[in-house]
Amino acid sequence: MLDLRELTAFGPVLADGGWGTELQKRGLAGGECPDLWNLTEPARVVDVARSYAEAGSRVILTNTFRANRVSLAGYGLADQAAAINRAGARLSREGAGGRALVFASMGPTGKMLAADEIGADEILAAFHEQALALAEGGADALLIETMSDPAEAALALEATLATGLPVIVSFAFDTGRNKDRTMTGATPEQAARHMEERGAHAVGANCGVGIAEYVPVCRRLRAATGLPLWIKPNAGLPEVVDGRAAYRTSPERFAASIPTLVEAGANFIGGCCGTDPEFIRAAARALVPPCA
Ligand SMILES: [Zn+2]
């Protein structure tokens, strides 16, 4: 099994940027299921993966954020779950071309356990099916991301550990006065400890309101756990321009916060919504300062 501690032992590892906006640039329409493109537009999906590997990402994700059968059911695609995930992992491997590892993206179901919109068994089964298909497709590790509810994250973790692959669990901290809680109220300390106790190989924070806000969140995760930390902030808060989300942070401003994020203990660094290969190029320069 890939060892995430060994992988990050010699310094922070650069991950990729956002996928949704990159697929939109390549023609994905609003309301279309991005994950279905793994079956219908594979060349465009490979192109996104390749663009990140070429920009310097040493870890790239997969186009499978919504590809659990509960989320896919919203598009009438539940029975395609296994095929979409297998293809997603395979396409990212193809785009990586041996230059980057492939960590497979698994987002939340979108249903609230606490409100009885979904049962624990259904969550376990959905993530288990997704994780097995991603492993079959050749994923090097699994990333449970943009989580809000530690209870759903714990079920997803249990279901994915069964693959034998390393599992990272990452939460979105975007709520509360200091933007340091998940939507369900979990703090970085609670999220990190809860996941470490249940066997996660790394924990982290993604999405959120911006890179500067994730520096203190990263510091608190670091104080709460010795596990490798995965940090992928958004390019600031989105504003709606012409019906689409626009992000105001520039690649240079994003990259300027990277040394502080490294000091705060981040081991994997990338970008979430609104970041693209230009952000990753800028981040790569920030991680490896030019020789004097
Ligand atoms: Zn995001």
Q: Give pLDDT tens digits for 22-57.
A: 999 999 999 999 999 999 999 999 999 999 999 999
How far is ligand 1, taken at its centre, from the CA of residue 273, in Å?
4
**DSSP states of 173-235:** --BTTTT-B-TT---HHHHHHHHHHTT-SEEEEEESS-HHHHHHHHHHHHHH--S-EEEEE-S
Determine the longest span between alpha carbons in the chain, in angstroms: 59
The residues with which 102 forms a beta bridge, in sequence order, are 60
Q: Which of 126, 145, 129 is nearest to 137 (CA)?
A: 129
Q: Which 8-state DSSP code applies to residue 243? A: T
Calpha distance 188→224 (Å, rounded) = 8
Give residue 227 CA to ligand 1 midpoint distance, Å. 22
Quote the percentage of the chain above a pLDDT of 70.
Answer: 99
pLDDT at residue number 241: 85
Over residues 275-287, the pLDDT tens digits come to 999 999 999 999 9
Residue 255 class from Cβ within 10 Å (0-12 exposed, 13-18 middle, 19+ buried)? buried
- Element holding 161 (H helix, E strand): helix 150-161
Spatial CA neighbour of 157 closest among 167, 149, 148: 167
For the chain, percent of residues with pLDDT exceeding 90: 93
pLDDT at 290: 62
In three-state secondary structure terms, 23 is helix
pLDDT number for residue 33: 98
Strands 238-241 and 244-247: antiparallel
In one-letter notation, the amino acid at residue 229 is: L
Task: Give the pLDDT of residue 240.
Answer: 87
Distance 42 CA to ligand 1 centre (A): 22
pLDDT digits (tens, 9 = 90+) for 78-92: 999 999 999 999 999
Ligand 1 center to residue 292 CA distance, Å?
35
Q: How far is the CA of 179 from the centre of ligand 1 (A)?
A: 14
Beta strands in the chain (DSSP E): 13-14, 59-60, 101-106, 141-147, 167-171, 202-207, 229-233, 238-241, 244-247, 268-269
Q: Which residues have CB under 8 Å from 176's CB, separation 6+?
A: 185
In sequence order, the β-bridge partners of residue 141 are 103
Q: What pLDDT does residue 289 have?
A: 66
In this model, does residue 291 exceed pLDDT 80? no
272 Cα to the center of ligand 1, angstroms: 4
Residue 246 pLDDT grade (very low, low, confident, very high; cuts 50, 70, 90):
confident
- Cα 235 to middle of ligand 1, angstroms: 9
Give distance in angstroms: CA of 275 to centre of ligand 1: 9
Q: Alpha-carbon distance 215 to 146, whole Å?
A: 17
How far does the centroid of ligand 1 lie from the alpha carbon of residue 66, in Å?
A: 13
As a whole number of angstroms, the distance between CA 225 and CA 235 comes to 26
Q: How far is the CA of 271 from the centre of ligand 1 (A)?
A: 8
Contact predicate 158/167, CB 8 Å: no
Residues 87 and 130: their CA atoms lie apart, in Å, by: 12
Q: In angstroms, what is the span from residue 212 Cα to ligand 1's centroid? A: 15
Q: How far apart are the first and last CA of the chain?
A: 38
Q: How far is the CA of 259 from the centre of ligand 1 (A)?
A: 21
233 alpha carbon – ligand 1 mean position (Å): 7
Q: What is the pLDDT of residues 175-193, one digit of tens each?
A: 999 999 999 999 999 999 9
| Band of pLDDT at residue 245, cut at 50, 70 and 90 | confident
DSSP state at residue 11: S
5-21 pLDDT tens trace: 999 999 999 999 999 99
Residue 32 Cα to ligand 1 midpoint, Å, equals: 18
The whole-angstrom separation of Cα 205 and Cα 188 is 8
131 pLDDT exceeds 70?
yes
